Amino acid sequence: MRATVLYGPRDVRVEDRAKPNIQKPTDAIIRLAAACVCGSDLWPYRGTDVVTQPTPMGHEYVGGVDEIGSEVTELKVGDFVVGSFFASDNTCEICQAGYQTSCIHREGVSGAQSEFMRVPLADGTLVATPAMPEADKIPSLLAASDVLGTGWFGAVAAEVGPGKTVAVVGDGAVGLLAVLAAQQLGAERIIAMSRHKDRQRLATEFGATDIVVERGDEGVAKIKELTGGLGAHSVIEAVGTQESMMQAIRATRPGGHVGYVGVAHDVSLDGLELFFSHVHLHGGPAPVRDYLPRLIDLILRGEINPGKVFDLELPLDEAAEAYRVMDERRAIKVLLRP
């Protein structure tokens, strides 16, 4: 089969590899219907995260169940499924509390930018759609697998709700879908922070009521200005840098909530500033599995269209170009067709 492999910084190759096999009785093999490149894939692509050996890439996926292990009971061959980027048993105490991405049996999922992939703990990780979805729903279901679920968790972690003013730091796919999540969760006002016209437009389409183009301290000052000097009730951080994290914390009013979902890189929080900020801080890897049933339902009923974040589609064999385009921010998110 064809699969995308990262060999080192900016060295993405699509090559022939053996089709994965069932390794444990709880595994499933998925034939990918679509895959994509994640903002977090850019960390190893850029060399920020060091890759020491050729690494199969991709952790966002939708597709048909091709094969199941002997202990898989909730799924059958032919089901169309959406999965999460961490495999979970969905039964342990941590999963039951809604933190499947910290499941006591958690396993990473990888190799989704290819024709087939192996998903561990299939019953606890994958959610089947009621029927084969129409082709135009595939991008949205693929978005649910990570970026939508992650934006959603950001909004949940930031305690978004009716009457709240929400600010979103980051205009990548996750940030834009955090806007959509905030709108779905009933936020009164949603401030998207973006300097790019096309992303501003999509943010507005997803429910943003205000756009702030300033960044850093100026961005914070602008949020304060828009909120009577107090800061937003809820701020979603969807980048993962020191600047974006501090922007989120400082734009939040005392007693307010920061939901952070950008994978933190070289971020260090000063204890004393955090202490006097009086904010709530919560985040981490989004428990997408927890939200998938609701998200799939919203998508299939046509209530939301998160697939709009895919503004470029390429065949799997052009994965290297997909990384390039994402790296240079020439596209918000690239969908790959195996």
- Residues near a copy of itself (CB under 8 A) are 93-94, 97-99, 101-102, 104, 228-230, 240, 242, 245, 253-255, 260, 263-272, 274-285
* CB-nearer residue toward a copy of itself: 233 or 308: 233
Least gap, CB of 275 to a copy of itself (angstroms): 5
* CB-nearer residue toward a copy of itself: 147 or 245: 245
d(CA 183, CA 192): 12
Q: Which helix (H) or strand (E) holds 125?
A: helix 122-125
* CB-nearer residue toward a copy of itself: 12 or 103: 103
AA identity, residue 105 = H
* CB-nearer residue toward a copy of itself: 262 or 307: 262
Least gap, CB of 115 to a copy of itself (angstroms): 31
Least gap, CB of 88 to a copy of itself (angstroms): 11
Instruction: Match 């940030």 to its residue by tokens.
Output: 175
Least gap, CB of 99 to a copy of itself (angstroms): 4
* Bridge pairing between strands 55-56 and 2-8: antiparallel
Task: Name which of 166, 127, 140 is nearest 288 in CA terms.
Answer: 127
* CB-nearer residue toward a copy of itself: 289 or 308: 289
18 Cα distance to chain centroid: 28
Least gap, CB of 255 to a copy of itself (angstroms): 4
* CB-nearer residue toward a copy of itself: 162 or 228: 228
Query: Nearest 10 degrees: CA dihedral of 81, 82, 87, 93?
Result: -100
Tokens representing residue 34 in the block? 């679509």
- Using CB atoms within 10 Å of the CB of residue 27, give its burial: 0 to 12 exposed, 13 to 18 middle, 19+ buried: buried
Least gap, CB of 254 to a copy of itself (angstroms): 3
- Using CB atoms within 10 Å of the CB of residue 4, give its burial: 0 to 12 exposed, 13 to 18 middle, 19+ buried: buried
